[in-house]
Amino acid sequence: MANTQNLEFSGSLGRFPSVKTSLAIITGVMMLVDLYLIFMVAPTDSVLGHVQRVFYFHVPIAIMSFLAFFAVFIFSLMYLGKRTPKWDAIAHASGEVGVVFVTLALLTGIIWARPVWNTWWTWEPRLTTTMILWLIYVAYLMVRSYAPTQSKGAIYAAVVGIVGFIDVPIVYYSVVWWRSIHPSPVVGPFAQSDSLDGTMYLILLYSFITFIFFFVYMVTERMELRSTEEALGRIRFTLRRKGR
Amino acid sequence: MGLLGPVMIIVWKDVLLEFRSRDLLISVVVFGLLVVVVFNFTLNNTPGRSEELAPGILWAAFAFAAVLAMNRAFVRDQEQGGLEGLLISPVSRDAIFLGKALTSLIFMLLVEAVLLPVYAVMLDFSALSWTLMLTIFLGTLGFAVVGTLFSAMAVQTRSREIMLSVLFFPVLLPVIIAAVEASTRAIGGETFIGLGRWLPLIGVFDALFLVICPWVFAFVVEE
Protein backbone atom coordinates (compact mmCIF):
# COMPACT_ATOMS: atom_id res chain seq x y z
CA MET A 1 0.00 0.00 0.00
CA ALA A 2 3.02 2.26 -0.03
CA ASN A 3 2.32 3.48 -3.51
CA THR A 4 -1.13 4.85 -2.88
CA GLN A 5 0.09 8.40 -2.42
CA ASN A 6 0.93 8.43 -6.11
CA LEU A 7 -2.71 7.91 -6.99
CA GLU A 8 -4.15 11.37 -7.13
CA PHE A 9 -7.49 11.07 -5.45
CA SER A 10 -9.46 14.21 -6.06
CA GLY A 11 -12.35 12.95 -3.94
CA SER A 12 -13.47 14.41 -0.66
CA LEU A 13 -11.52 12.48 1.95
CA GLY A 14 -12.09 14.40 5.17
CA ARG A 15 -12.35 17.76 3.44
CA PHE A 16 -15.18 19.79 2.05
CA PRO A 17 -17.31 17.96 -0.47
CA SER A 18 -15.77 18.43 -3.91
CA VAL A 19 -17.44 20.40 -6.67
CA LYS A 20 -18.44 17.17 -8.31
CA THR A 21 -20.08 15.73 -5.19
CA SER A 22 -22.04 18.89 -4.51
CA LEU A 23 -23.14 18.98 -8.14
CA ALA A 24 -24.27 15.36 -7.85
CA ILE A 25 -26.35 16.15 -4.76
CA ILE A 26 -27.90 19.29 -6.27
CA THR A 27 -28.65 17.53 -9.56
CA GLY A 28 -30.17 14.53 -7.80
CA VAL A 29 -32.51 16.65 -5.68
CA MET A 30 -33.47 18.86 -8.61
CA MET A 31 -34.15 15.84 -10.78
CA LEU A 32 -36.48 14.30 -8.19
CA VAL A 33 -38.38 17.59 -7.88
CA ASP A 34 -38.48 17.78 -11.67
CA LEU A 35 -40.01 14.31 -11.91
CA TYR A 36 -42.60 15.23 -9.29
CA LEU A 37 -43.47 18.44 -11.15
CA ILE A 38 -43.71 16.71 -14.51
CA PHE A 39 -45.84 13.76 -13.43
CA MET A 40 -47.83 15.21 -10.50
CA VAL A 41 -48.12 18.96 -10.92
CA ALA A 42 -48.10 19.63 -14.67
CA PRO A 43 -51.60 19.70 -16.15
CA THR A 44 -52.48 17.03 -18.68
CA ASP A 45 -52.60 18.40 -22.18
CA SER A 46 -56.21 18.61 -23.35
CA VAL A 47 -55.43 17.51 -26.89
CA LEU A 48 -52.36 15.30 -26.66
CA GLY A 49 -52.91 13.69 -23.27
CA HIS A 50 -50.13 12.24 -21.10
CA VAL A 51 -47.68 11.79 -23.96
CA GLN A 52 -47.20 15.56 -23.91
CA ARG A 53 -45.19 15.12 -20.68
CA VAL A 54 -42.24 13.74 -22.66
CA PHE A 55 -41.93 17.30 -23.92
CA TYR A 56 -40.46 18.41 -20.54
CA PHE A 57 -37.57 16.01 -21.09
CA HIS A 58 -37.27 16.31 -24.82
CA VAL A 59 -36.94 20.08 -25.19
CA PRO A 60 -34.28 20.65 -22.48
CA ILE A 61 -32.28 17.62 -23.61
CA ALA A 62 -32.34 18.75 -27.25
CA ILE A 63 -31.33 22.33 -26.39
CA MET A 64 -28.58 21.07 -24.07
CA SER A 65 -27.16 18.85 -26.80
CA PHE A 66 -26.89 21.83 -29.14
CA LEU A 67 -25.18 23.83 -26.38
CA ALA A 68 -22.84 20.88 -25.77
CA PHE A 69 -21.74 20.92 -29.39
CA PHE A 70 -21.30 24.66 -29.25
CA ALA A 71 -19.01 24.07 -26.25
CA VAL A 72 -17.11 21.46 -28.29
CA PHE A 73 -16.65 24.06 -31.03
CA ILE A 74 -15.39 26.79 -28.67
CA PHE A 75 -13.05 24.53 -26.68
CA SER A 76 -11.75 22.91 -29.88
CA LEU A 77 -10.82 26.35 -31.20
CA MET A 78 -9.15 27.18 -27.88
CA TYR A 79 -7.32 23.85 -27.87
CA LEU A 80 -5.97 24.34 -31.39
CA GLY A 81 -4.88 27.85 -30.43
CA LYS A 82 -3.22 27.17 -27.08
CA ARG A 83 -2.80 23.36 -26.81
CA THR A 84 -3.87 23.39 -23.17
CA PRO A 85 -4.88 19.78 -22.40
CA LYS A 86 -7.68 21.05 -20.18
CA TRP A 87 -9.52 22.62 -23.13
CA ASP A 88 -9.36 19.31 -24.93
CA ALA A 89 -10.63 17.52 -21.82
CA ILE A 90 -13.66 19.83 -21.68
CA ALA A 91 -14.33 19.47 -25.41
CA HIS A 92 -14.01 15.69 -25.16
CA ALA A 93 -16.37 15.43 -22.17
CA SER A 94 -18.91 17.83 -23.75
CA GLY A 95 -18.79 15.88 -26.99
CA GLU A 96 -19.39 12.58 -25.27
CA VAL A 97 -22.22 13.84 -23.07
CA GLY A 98 -23.60 15.72 -26.08
CA VAL A 99 -23.82 12.48 -28.07
CA VAL A 100 -25.69 10.84 -25.18
CA PHE A 101 -28.05 13.83 -25.01
CA VAL A 102 -28.69 13.97 -28.72
CA THR A 103 -29.42 10.22 -28.70
CA LEU A 104 -31.94 10.79 -25.90
CA ALA A 105 -33.41 13.75 -27.77
CA LEU A 106 -33.94 11.56 -30.84
CA LEU A 107 -35.47 8.75 -28.77
CA THR A 108 -37.84 11.00 -26.81
CA GLY A 109 -38.71 12.70 -30.09
CA ILE A 110 -39.63 9.36 -31.62
CA ILE A 111 -41.79 8.52 -28.58
CA TRP A 112 -43.52 11.85 -29.08
CA ALA A 113 -43.87 11.60 -32.86
CA ARG A 114 -45.59 8.22 -33.00
CA PRO A 115 -48.85 9.14 -31.23
CA VAL A 116 -48.91 12.82 -32.22
CA TRP A 117 -47.77 12.79 -35.84
CA ASN A 118 -48.76 9.19 -36.46
CA THR A 119 -45.28 8.31 -37.69
CA TRP A 120 -42.01 7.37 -35.99
CA TRP A 121 -39.87 9.49 -38.22
CA THR A 122 -40.19 12.21 -40.82
CA TRP A 123 -37.49 14.01 -42.78
CA GLU A 124 -38.38 17.32 -41.24
CA PRO A 125 -35.49 19.86 -41.06
CA ARG A 126 -35.10 19.77 -37.30
CA LEU A 127 -35.21 15.97 -37.18
CA THR A 128 -32.85 15.57 -40.11
CA THR A 129 -30.39 18.09 -38.71
CA THR A 130 -30.46 16.34 -35.33
CA MET A 131 -29.79 13.03 -37.05
CA ILE A 132 -26.83 14.56 -38.92
CA LEU A 133 -25.58 16.10 -35.67
CA TRP A 134 -25.63 12.65 -34.13
CA LEU A 135 -23.62 11.24 -37.06
CA ILE A 136 -21.06 14.08 -37.03
CA TYR A 137 -20.39 13.81 -33.30
CA VAL A 138 -20.24 10.02 -33.36
CA ALA A 139 -17.55 10.53 -36.01
CA TYR A 140 -15.96 13.07 -33.63
CA LEU A 141 -15.66 10.40 -30.93
CA MET A 142 -14.56 7.72 -33.40
CA VAL A 143 -11.76 9.76 -34.92
CA ARG A 144 -10.50 10.52 -31.44
CA SER A 145 -10.27 6.91 -30.38
CA TYR A 146 -9.01 5.55 -33.72
CA ALA A 147 -6.15 8.04 -34.00
CA PRO A 148 -2.58 6.72 -33.71
CA THR A 149 -1.76 8.66 -30.53
CA GLN A 150 -3.80 10.50 -27.94
CA SER A 151 -2.45 13.93 -28.90
CA LYS A 152 -3.19 13.27 -32.59
CA GLY A 153 -6.66 12.15 -31.58
CA ALA A 154 -7.20 15.40 -29.71
CA ILE A 155 -6.21 17.46 -32.75
CA TYR A 156 -8.26 15.41 -35.22
CA ALA A 157 -11.26 15.58 -32.93
CA ALA A 158 -10.86 19.36 -32.59
CA VAL A 159 -10.81 19.66 -36.38
CA VAL A 160 -14.00 17.61 -36.69
CA GLY A 161 -15.55 19.62 -33.85
CA ILE A 162 -14.89 22.86 -35.75
CA VAL A 163 -15.74 21.70 -39.28
CA GLY A 164 -18.82 19.81 -38.09
CA PHE A 165 -20.23 22.72 -36.14
CA ILE A 166 -19.79 25.15 -39.04
CA ASP A 167 -21.52 22.61 -41.27
CA VAL A 168 -24.65 22.31 -39.12
CA PRO A 169 -26.39 25.55 -40.24
CA ILE A 170 -25.71 24.66 -43.89
CA VAL A 171 -27.25 21.24 -43.33
CA TYR A 172 -30.26 22.86 -41.69
CA TYR A 173 -30.90 25.34 -44.51
CA SER A 174 -30.37 22.78 -47.24
CA VAL A 175 -32.97 20.54 -45.62
CA VAL A 176 -35.40 23.45 -45.09
CA TRP A 177 -35.15 24.32 -48.78
CA TRP A 178 -35.35 20.69 -49.77
CA ARG A 179 -38.50 20.29 -47.72
CA SER A 180 -40.17 23.31 -49.29
CA ILE A 181 -40.27 21.36 -52.57
CA HIS A 182 -40.86 17.89 -51.10
CA PRO A 183 -43.57 18.43 -48.49
CA SER A 184 -43.87 15.62 -45.99
CA PRO A 185 -47.26 14.41 -44.70
CA VAL A 186 -46.79 16.01 -41.30
CA VAL A 187 -48.40 19.41 -40.98
CA GLY A 188 -47.43 22.02 -38.41
CA PRO A 189 -44.76 20.32 -36.32
CA PHE A 190 -44.15 21.79 -32.88
CA ALA A 191 -47.43 23.66 -33.21
CA GLN A 192 -48.16 22.88 -29.59
CA SER A 193 -45.46 25.28 -28.40
CA ASP A 194 -47.83 28.26 -28.71
CA SER A 195 -50.38 26.56 -26.52
CA LEU A 196 -48.26 26.25 -23.39
CA ASP A 197 -50.06 27.59 -20.35
CA GLY A 198 -48.27 29.34 -17.47
CA THR A 199 -47.67 26.27 -15.30
CA MET A 200 -46.40 24.25 -18.22
CA TYR A 201 -44.02 27.02 -19.18
CA LEU A 202 -42.62 27.33 -15.64
CA ILE A 203 -42.14 23.57 -15.34
CA LEU A 204 -40.36 23.53 -18.69
CA LEU A 205 -38.09 26.30 -17.48
CA TYR A 206 -37.36 24.42 -14.24
CA SER A 207 -36.71 21.25 -16.20
CA PHE A 208 -34.30 23.13 -18.42
CA ILE A 209 -32.33 24.41 -15.41
CA THR A 210 -32.27 20.87 -13.99
CA PHE A 211 -30.81 19.55 -17.20
CA ILE A 212 -28.16 22.28 -17.24
CA PHE A 213 -27.01 21.04 -13.83
CA PHE A 214 -27.26 17.46 -15.01
CA PHE A 215 -25.11 18.27 -18.04
CA VAL A 216 -22.45 20.11 -16.04
CA TYR A 217 -22.36 17.24 -13.53
CA MET A 218 -21.94 14.65 -16.30
CA VAL A 219 -19.15 16.70 -17.90
CA THR A 220 -17.21 17.03 -14.62
CA GLU A 221 -17.69 13.32 -13.95
CA ARG A 222 -16.38 12.49 -17.42
CA MET A 223 -13.41 14.83 -17.02
CA GLU A 224 -12.51 13.22 -13.72
CA LEU A 225 -12.77 9.80 -15.32
CA ARG A 226 -10.39 10.95 -18.03
CA SER A 227 -7.84 12.25 -15.54
CA THR A 228 -8.10 8.93 -13.69
CA GLU A 229 -7.48 7.12 -16.97
CA GLU A 230 -4.44 9.28 -17.57
CA ALA A 231 -3.13 8.67 -14.03
CA LEU A 232 -3.62 4.94 -14.55
CA GLY A 233 -1.72 5.16 -17.82
CA ARG A 234 1.18 6.85 -16.04
CA ILE A 235 1.23 4.22 -13.29
CA ARG A 236 1.18 1.42 -15.82
CA PHE A 237 4.02 3.08 -17.70
CA THR A 238 6.11 3.42 -14.53
CA LEU A 239 5.46 -0.16 -13.44
CA ARG A 240 6.40 -1.51 -16.82
CA ARG A 241 9.64 0.42 -16.75
CA LYS A 242 10.48 -0.80 -13.23
CA GLY A 243 9.68 -4.41 -14.12
CA ARG A 244 12.18 -4.39 -16.91
CA MET B 1 8.21 30.99 -54.93
CA GLY B 2 4.58 31.91 -54.72
CA LEU B 3 1.74 29.63 -53.84
CA LEU B 4 0.99 28.51 -57.37
CA GLY B 5 4.42 27.03 -58.16
CA PRO B 6 4.55 24.48 -55.31
CA VAL B 7 0.86 23.63 -55.84
CA MET B 8 1.53 22.79 -59.47
CA ILE B 9 4.60 20.72 -58.60
CA ILE B 10 2.60 18.65 -56.10
CA VAL B 11 -0.22 18.18 -58.62
CA TRP B 12 2.26 17.16 -61.29
CA LYS B 13 3.91 14.64 -58.97
CA ASP B 14 0.59 12.93 -58.24
CA VAL B 15 -0.61 13.07 -61.83
CA LEU B 16 2.67 11.51 -62.97
CA LEU B 17 2.43 8.78 -60.33
CA GLU B 18 -1.12 8.03 -61.38
CA PHE B 19 -0.24 8.12 -65.06
CA ARG B 20 2.47 5.52 -64.49
CA SER B 21 0.50 3.16 -62.28
CA ARG B 22 -3.09 3.84 -63.45
CA ASP B 23 -4.41 1.94 -60.46
CA LEU B 24 -6.76 4.60 -59.16
CA LEU B 25 -8.67 6.00 -62.12
CA ILE B 26 -9.52 2.68 -63.75
CA SER B 27 -10.76 1.10 -60.53
CA VAL B 28 -12.90 4.13 -59.68
CA VAL B 29 -14.45 4.18 -63.16
CA VAL B 30 -15.27 0.48 -62.91
CA PHE B 31 -16.75 1.09 -59.48
CA GLY B 32 -18.85 3.93 -60.88
CA LEU B 33 -20.28 1.61 -63.53
CA LEU B 34 -21.06 -1.01 -60.91
CA VAL B 35 -22.95 1.52 -58.82
CA VAL B 36 -25.23 2.45 -61.69
CA VAL B 37 -25.97 -1.22 -62.40
CA VAL B 38 -26.80 -1.89 -58.75
CA PHE B 39 -29.01 1.20 -58.42
CA ASN B 40 -30.81 0.36 -61.63
CA PHE B 41 -32.13 -2.82 -60.03
CA THR B 42 -32.48 -1.73 -56.40
CA LEU B 43 -34.57 1.30 -57.43
CA ASN B 44 -36.43 -0.72 -60.08
CA ASN B 45 -35.69 1.75 -62.83
CA THR B 46 -38.15 1.70 -65.73
CA PRO B 47 -37.91 3.95 -68.83
CA GLY B 48 -40.62 6.32 -67.60
CA ARG B 49 -38.95 6.95 -64.23
CA SER B 50 -35.45 7.38 -65.58
CA GLU B 51 -35.48 11.16 -65.61
CA GLU B 52 -36.71 11.26 -62.03
CA LEU B 53 -34.13 8.77 -60.73
CA ALA B 54 -31.12 9.80 -62.83
CA PRO B 55 -29.87 12.75 -60.70
CA GLY B 56 -30.05 10.69 -57.52
CA ILE B 57 -28.17 7.76 -59.04
CA LEU B 58 -25.65 10.16 -60.61
CA TRP B 59 -24.78 11.81 -57.30
CA ALA B 60 -24.85 8.64 -55.24
CA ALA B 61 -22.33 7.19 -57.71
CA PHE B 62 -20.19 10.35 -57.73
CA ALA B 63 -20.18 10.60 -53.94
CA PHE B 64 -19.19 6.96 -53.44
CA ALA B 65 -16.58 7.22 -56.18
CA ALA B 66 -15.21 10.38 -54.54
CA VAL B 67 -14.81 8.62 -51.19
CA LEU B 68 -13.11 5.71 -52.91
CA ALA B 69 -10.70 7.99 -54.78
CA MET B 70 -10.06 10.23 -51.78
CA ASN B 71 -9.19 7.23 -49.64
CA ARG B 72 -6.13 6.82 -51.81
CA ALA B 73 -5.15 10.51 -51.80
CA PHE B 74 -2.61 10.21 -48.99
CA VAL B 75 -1.98 6.47 -48.95
CA ARG B 76 1.01 6.57 -51.27
CA ASP B 77 2.55 9.46 -49.36
CA GLN B 78 1.90 7.69 -46.07
CA GLU B 79 3.31 4.30 -47.07
CA GLN B 80 6.54 5.59 -48.60
CA GLY B 81 7.11 8.40 -46.12
CA GLY B 82 6.58 10.97 -48.86
CA LEU B 83 4.40 13.14 -46.68
CA GLU B 84 7.26 13.74 -44.24
CA GLY B 85 9.38 14.77 -47.19
CA LEU B 86 6.71 17.20 -48.31
CA LEU B 87 6.35 18.59 -44.81
CA ILE B 88 10.05 19.28 -44.30
CA SER B 89 10.39 20.86 -47.73
CA PRO B 90 10.17 24.67 -47.71
CA VAL B 91 6.57 24.72 -48.90
CA SER B 92 3.65 26.19 -47.01
CA ARG B 93 1.00 23.83 -45.63
CA ASP B 94 -1.58 25.70 -47.70
CA ALA B 95 0.28 24.75 -50.87
CA ILE B 96 0.36 21.08 -49.85
CA PHE B 97 -3.35 21.13 -49.08
CA LEU B 98 -4.30 22.96 -52.26
CA GLY B 99 -2.07 20.71 -54.34
CA LYS B 100 -3.66 17.60 -52.87
CA ALA B 101 -7.19 19.00 -53.24
CA LEU B 102 -6.53 20.06 -56.82
CA THR B 103 -5.20 16.58 -57.65
CA SER B 104 -8.33 14.99 -56.22
CA LEU B 105 -10.49 17.47 -58.13
CA ILE B 106 -8.71 16.67 -61.40
CA PHE B 107 -8.97 12.90 -60.85
CA MET B 108 -12.64 13.10 -59.94
CA LEU B 109 -13.46 15.31 -62.92
CA LEU B 110 -11.66 12.85 -65.20
CA VAL B 111 -13.63 9.95 -63.73
CA GLU B 112 -16.86 11.91 -64.06
CA ALA B 113 -16.05 12.89 -67.64
CA VAL B 114 -15.83 9.18 -68.46
CA LEU B 115 -18.88 8.19 -66.43
CA LEU B 116 -21.26 11.00 -67.40
CA PRO B 117 -21.75 10.04 -71.09
CA VAL B 118 -22.18 6.40 -70.05
CA TYR B 119 -24.78 7.38 -67.45
CA ALA B 120 -26.53 9.62 -69.98
CA VAL B 121 -26.93 6.64 -72.28
CA MET B 122 -27.83 4.11 -69.60
CA LEU B 123 -30.24 6.36 -67.70
CA ASP B 124 -31.53 8.17 -70.77
CA PHE B 125 -30.99 11.82 -69.98
CA SER B 126 -29.27 14.65 -71.83
CA ALA B 127 -25.86 15.40 -70.36
CA LEU B 128 -25.13 18.22 -72.79
CA SER B 129 -26.11 21.06 -70.53
CA TRP B 130 -23.67 23.58 -69.18
CA THR B 131 -25.73 24.06 -66.03
CA LEU B 132 -25.27 20.35 -65.31
CA MET B 133 -21.53 20.66 -65.97
CA LEU B 134 -21.33 23.64 -63.62
CA THR B 135 -23.23 21.75 -60.92
CA ILE B 136 -20.89 18.78 -61.30
CA PHE B 137 -17.85 21.03 -61.12
CA LEU B 138 -18.98 22.87 -58.00
CA GLY B 139 -20.19 19.71 -56.27
CA THR B 140 -16.94 17.89 -57.02
CA LEU B 141 -14.95 20.88 -55.76
CA GLY B 142 -16.78 20.59 -52.43
CA PHE B 143 -16.06 16.85 -52.31
CA ALA B 144 -12.38 17.43 -53.08
CA VAL B 145 -11.81 20.19 -50.51
CA VAL B 146 -13.50 18.56 -47.52
CA GLY B 147 -12.49 15.07 -48.65
CA THR B 148 -8.80 16.01 -48.76
CA LEU B 149 -8.90 17.33 -45.20
CA PHE B 150 -10.65 14.22 -43.87
CA SER B 151 -8.47 11.93 -45.95
CA ALA B 152 -5.34 13.38 -44.34
CA MET B 153 -6.81 12.46 -40.94
CA ALA B 154 -8.35 9.13 -41.93
CA VAL B 155 -5.12 7.81 -43.44
CA GLN B 156 -3.51 7.99 -39.99
CA THR B 157 -6.30 6.20 -38.16
CA ARG B 158 -7.13 2.56 -37.74
CA SER B 159 -9.74 1.27 -40.22
CA ARG B 160 -9.12 4.30 -42.39
CA GLU B 161 -11.50 3.37 -45.24
CA ILE B 162 -14.49 3.39 -42.92
CA MET B 163 -13.28 6.47 -41.06
CA LEU B 164 -13.28 8.58 -44.22
CA SER B 165 -16.86 7.62 -45.12
CA VAL B 166 -18.04 8.24 -41.57
CA LEU B 167 -16.55 11.74 -41.65
CA PHE B 168 -17.31 12.54 -45.28
CA PHE B 169 -21.02 11.82 -45.75
CA PRO B 170 -22.60 13.76 -42.85
CA VAL B 171 -20.55 16.88 -43.59
CA LEU B 172 -21.09 16.69 -47.35
CA LEU B 173 -24.84 16.13 -47.05
CA PRO B 174 -25.74 19.75 -48.03
CA VAL B 175 -23.65 19.46 -51.19
CA ILE B 176 -25.30 16.16 -52.10
CA ILE B 177 -28.82 17.55 -51.53
CA ALA B 178 -28.09 20.74 -53.48
CA ALA B 179 -26.32 18.91 -56.30
CA VAL B 180 -29.20 16.48 -56.76
CA GLU B 181 -31.75 19.30 -56.82
CA ALA B 182 -29.70 21.43 -59.22
CA SER B 183 -29.06 18.44 -61.50
CA THR B 184 -32.74 17.57 -61.61
CA ARG B 185 -33.47 21.05 -62.91
CA ALA B 186 -30.48 21.11 -65.25
CA ILE B 187 -31.49 17.79 -66.81
CA GLY B 188 -35.04 19.15 -67.11
CA GLY B 189 -33.61 21.91 -69.30
CA GLU B 190 -33.71 24.82 -66.86
CA THR B 191 -31.35 27.76 -67.31
CA PHE B 192 -29.03 29.14 -64.64
CA ILE B 193 -31.84 31.19 -63.05
CA GLY B 194 -34.08 28.13 -62.99
CA LEU B 195 -31.62 26.31 -60.77
CA GLY B 196 -32.63 28.62 -57.96
CA ARG B 197 -30.59 28.78 -54.80
CA TRP B 198 -29.03 25.35 -55.10
CA LEU B 199 -25.94 26.41 -57.05
CA PRO B 200 -25.26 29.39 -54.75
CA LEU B 201 -25.63 27.01 -51.80
CA ILE B 202 -22.88 24.75 -53.18
CA GLY B 203 -20.83 27.86 -54.00
CA VAL B 204 -21.09 29.14 -50.43
CA PHE B 205 -20.17 25.71 -49.07
CA ASP B 206 -17.11 25.52 -51.35
CA ALA B 207 -15.94 29.04 -50.53
CA LEU B 208 -16.38 28.53 -46.78
CA PHE B 209 -14.47 25.27 -46.69
CA LEU B 210 -11.78 26.53 -49.07
CA VAL B 211 -10.96 28.98 -46.30
CA ILE B 212 -11.37 26.70 -43.28
CA CYS B 213 -9.84 23.47 -44.56
CA PRO B 214 -6.32 24.75 -45.43
CA TRP B 215 -6.21 26.43 -42.04
CA VAL B 216 -7.09 23.30 -40.03
CA PHE B 217 -5.04 21.08 -42.37
CA ALA B 218 -1.89 22.65 -40.92
CA PHE B 219 -2.87 21.24 -37.50
CA VAL B 220 -3.68 17.81 -38.90
CA VAL B 221 -0.28 17.21 -40.50
CA GLU B 222 1.92 18.78 -37.84
CA GLU B 223 4.17 16.50 -35.82
Instruction: Determine how many CB atoms are found less than 10 A away from the CB of residue B223.
Output: 6
Tell me the chain A residues in contact with residue B159 when contact means C-beta distances shorter than 8 Å: 146
Inter-chain residue contact B159 with A146, CB threshold 8 Å:
yes
Q: Does B210 touch chain A (CB under 8 A)?
A: no
Angstrom distances, CA of residue A104 to CA of A61, A109, A130, A211: 7, 8, 11, 12
Q: Using the 8-state DSSP alphabet, how is residue A11 labeled?
A: S
Q: Could you tell me which residues are beta bridge partners of residue A45?
A: A49
The helix (run of H) or strand (run of E) holding residue A24 is: helix A19-36
Q: Does B153 touch chain A (CB under 8 A)?
A: yes
pLDDT digits (tens, 9 = 90+) for B203-217: 999 999 999 999 999
pLDDT tier at A196, thresholds 50, 70, 90: low
Inter-chain residue contact B181 with A178, CB threshold 8 Å:
yes
A13-17, A81-85, B54-58, range with the lowest pLDDT:
A13-17
Angstrom distances, CA of residue B154 to CA of A99, A147, A152: 21, 8, 11
pLDDT, mean of residues A25-39: 91
Position A185 scores a pLDDT of 43
B25-34, B125-134, B145-154, range with the lowest pLDDT:
B125-134
Position A191 scores a pLDDT of 45
Q: Does A161 touch chain B (CB under 8 A)?
A: no
> Mapped to the 3 state alphabet, what secondary structure does A210-227 carry?
HHHHHHHHHHHHHHHHHH
Our count of domains for chain A comes to: 1
B103–chain A nearest CA distance, Å: 22
pLDDT tier at B73, thresholds 50, 70, 90: confident
DSSP chain B: --SHHHHHHHHHHHHHHHHHH-HHHHHHHHHHHHHHHHHHHHTT--GGGHHHHHHHHHHHHHHHHHHHHHHTTTHHHHHHTHHHHHHHSS--HHHHHHHHHHHHHHHHHHHHHHHHHHHHHHTT-----HHHHHHHHHHHHHHHHHHHHHHHHHTTSSSHHHHHHHHHHHHHHHHHHHHHHHHHHHHTT--TGGGTTHHHHHHHHHHHHHHHHHHHHHHHH--
Residue A185 near residue A119 (C-beta atoms within 8 A) = yes
3 state SS of A49: strand
Residue from A178, A142, A186 nearest A160 by CA:
A142
Question: Which of A163, A166, A171 is the mutation pick for testing B, counting most B CBs within 10 A?
Answer: A163
Q: Determine if residue B22 is left, alpha or beta; phi over 0 gives left, psi from -120 to 50 gives alpha, anything else beta.
A: left
Would you tell me which residues 11-50 of chain B have a C-beta closer than 8 angstroms to some C-beta of chain A? none
Instruction: Determine how many CB atoms are found less than 10 A away from the CB of residue B32.
Output: 23
ipTM: 0.88
Q: Could you tell me which residues are beta bridge partners of residue A49?
A: A45
pLDDT digits (tens, 9 = 90+) for A126-182: 888 899 999 999 999 999 999 988 889 999 999 999 999 999 888 888 888 887 766
Rounded Cα distance, B82 and B87, in Å: 9
Inter-chain residue contact A171 with B212, CB threshold 8 Å:
no
**Does a structural domain hold residue A91?**
yes
Share of chain A above pLDDT 70, in %: 86
A194 pLDDT above the threshold of 80: no
pLDDT tier at A183, thresholds 50, 70, 90: low
A4 pLDDT above the threshold of 70: no
Extents of the domains making up chain B: 4-221
Question: Which of B74, B138, B151, B173 is the mutation pick for testing A, counting most A CBs within 10 A?
Answer: B173
pTM exceeding the 0.95 threshold for the entire prediction: no
A190 pLDDT above the threshold of 70: no
**Does a structural domain hold residue A235?**
no
Tell me the chain B residues in contact with residue A80 when contact means C-beta distances shorter than 8 Å: 216, 219
A49 pLDDT above the threshold of 70: yes
Position A244 scores a pLDDT of 64
Tell me the chain B residues in contact with residue A143 when contact means C-beta distances shorter than 8 Å: 153-154, 157, 163, 167
**Does a structural domain hold residue A229?**
no
Inter-chain residue contact B201 with A177, CB threshold 8 Å:
yes
Chain A to chain B, count of Cβ pairs less than 8 Å apart? 85
**Average pLDDT of every residue of chain B:** 88
pLDDT, mean of residues B156-177: 91
3 state SS of A19: helix
Is the pLDDT higher at A181 or at A67?
A67
Residue B144 near residue B104 (C-beta atoms within 8 A) = yes
Domain range for A123 is 54-184
Position B41 scores a pLDDT of 87
Q: Which residue of A has its CA nearest to B149?
A: A159
pLDDT digits (tens, 9 = 90+) for A209-227: 999 999 999 999 999 999 9
Share of chain B above pLDDT 70, in %: 99
Inter-chain residue contact A156 with B146, CB threshold 8 Å:
no
Inter-chain residue contact B219 with A155, CB threshold 8 Å:
yes
